[in-house]
Structures are given as structure tokens and as C-alpha cells.
Amino acid sequence: MKNAVVLLSGGLDSATVLALARAQGFQCFALSVDYGQRHHSELDAAQRVAMLLGAREHRVISIDLTAFGGSALTDNSIAVPQQPSVGIPLTYVPARNTIMLSLALAWAEVLQAQDVFIGVNAVDYSGYPDCRPAFIEAFEQMANLATKAGVEGKRLSVHAPLLHLSKAEIIQRGLAAGVDYAQTVSCYQADTAGRACGVCDSCRLRRAGFAAAGVADPTHYVNHE
């Protein structure tokens, strides 16, 4: 079995990616990043999901991006928007995917894994610069110059299997691959029990995805909606 590092936030998208990587026969090393996000229930969800979906190992690495701020997710003085925004959302965390992929690259190199998976999506998150296909391609190209494996001629691949899927399609593929979405937390401001606010961008996209997929929404909402 080939080793792969899978970035796992504990949300809907990354849980789906882990299930898809497993379905492709990879032995998966799940990596979560505690970057100072507003709540830890997402990381609790990552832990559950990693176990339920048969990751070989799950590690959480801490890096305090609140030292830089610049986002509603890493600066408590910036409120999480409750309405859809125009342009790049306030929840965009500067260079987050670059940092996360760099950490995945480091672990991949130590594991001698040539495959890294990330759940970015260019359809729903078109406002995030680091969710665009051109970014993923450029990262892959850079990664192949950055590492020992690259020097030795081993090719590293960055897989973003959700890149061009709608939320409904992601949910359908995840269900087929055995994801229990009740265990995942997507909300930007979930409470300590992992219950979703129902009003942030992430909640809205997720809820609309279940509706479009024609699937009952298993999300635990704060207001029992």
C-alpha cells in the first residue's frame, strides 16, 4: 500500500477526501493543523473522522497563526460574517493552504510518501485565492523542487479530488465512500460540543449541499433547526 498524507480539518470536505484516498487504496496519514482557529470542536471531529475512516495515524500540529491575525478565523476582533460577502471573504486566512500543504509536504518527506491530499474546492470557495487550480498546480511544482525526493527524481503529487465538484457532488461521493457526515464539523464558529451556528458561509454552503444532494442534513445545529 502506498502512503499518503491527507490534510484533515474535521469538516465535510476533508473527511470526504480521506474516504476517497482510502477508497483508492492509500494508507493514510491524517494531518490536522491547530492554527488557533476559533474552536476546537473541529479538531475533535478530525480525530473521530480519522478513526472512523481508517487512517493509519492522525497527528495534530500546532502553529499559532493568531500571531499574524488578518482573518475572522484568527483574530477575535474580526467577527465571522453572517451574510454572503463579495470578493475574498473575511474568513480567508492569509497563506493558510500554503502553510498546511507545506506541513503535509514535510511529513510526506519523512514518511517517504509521494502523495498529499487536500480538500480544496474551486466552486463554492471561489473567493479564496488558495483554492484555485492554478495554486494547487504551482504548489505541486514547487514541492517537487523543495524536497530530497524531488532531487532523487521521485514525483510528489498534490491531489485535490474535490476541486471541481459542487457541494452536492462531494456529499454524494462521500456517502458512497462511507462518510458519516454527522461526525464532521464545518461551522466557522461551532460551539464546544461541535454544534453548528447555521448562519456562517460554511454552514450555508453545507446546508445547501445536503438539500441539493437530496439527502437529509445530519448536522447538529445550535438551534436544533
In the list 3, 24, 47, 102, the residue contacting its own copies (rule: CB under 8 A) is 102
Residue 99 in the binding site for its own copies (CB under 8 A): yes
The 3-7 sheet, strands edge to edge: 27-34, 3-7, 115-117, 157-159
Question: Can you tell me the distance from the alpha carbon of 4 to that of 2, in angstroms, rounded to the nearest whole number?
Answer: 7
**Which of residues 65 and 197 has its CB atom nearest to its own copies in the complex?**
65
In the list 51, 110, 193, 211, the residue contacting its own copies (rule: CB under 8 A) is 110
**Residues between 115 and 144 that touch its own copies (CB under 8 A):** 129-130, 132, 134-135, 138-139, 141-143
Q: Is the Cβ–Cβ distance between 197 and 190 less than 8 Å? A: yes
Q: At what angle do helices 96-111 and 133-146 cross, to 10 degrees?
A: 40
Stretch that binds its own copies, among 62-70, 167-175, 183-191, 194-202 (CB under 8 A): 62-70
Q: Is 33 helix (H, G, I), strand (E, B) or coil?
A: strand
Place of cell 497527528: 59
Q: In which element (H, E) is residue 29 found?
A: strand 27-34
**Which of residues 70 and 198 has its CB atom nearest to its own copies in the complex?**
70
Question: Can you tell me the distance from the alpha carbon of 130 to that of 134, in angstroms, rounded to the nearest whole number?
Answer: 9
Q: What does the block give as the cell for 191?
A: 460551539
Residue of 89, 54, 63, 51 lying closest to 188 (CA atoms): 89
Least separation in angstroms between residue 59's CB and its own copies is: 6
Binding residues with its own copies: total (CB under 8 A): 42
Half-sphere exposure of 79 (CA within 13 A, CB side): 5
Q: What does the block give as the cell for 135?
A: 495554486
Least separation in angstroms between residue 97's CB and its own copies is: 7
In the list 56, 69, 169, 191, the residue contacting its own copies (rule: CB under 8 A) is 69
Residue of 131, 126, 67, 68 lying closest to 94 (CA atoms): 68
Stretch that binds its own copies, among 96-104, 179-187, 199-207, 213-221 (CB under 8 A): 96-104
Stretch that binds its own copies, among 17-25, 107-115, 172-180, 216-224 (CB under 8 A): 107-115
Stretch that binds its own copies, among 44-52, 99-107, 173-181, 215-223 (CB under 8 A): 99-107
Least separation in angstroms between residue 136's CB and its own copies is: 9
**Which of residues 109 and 217 has its CB atom nearest to its own copies in the complex?**
109
Contacting positions for its own copies (CB under 8 A): 59, 61-65, 67-70, 88, 92-99, 102-103, 105-107, 109-110, 129-130, 132, 134-135, 138-139, 141-143, 145-148, 150-151
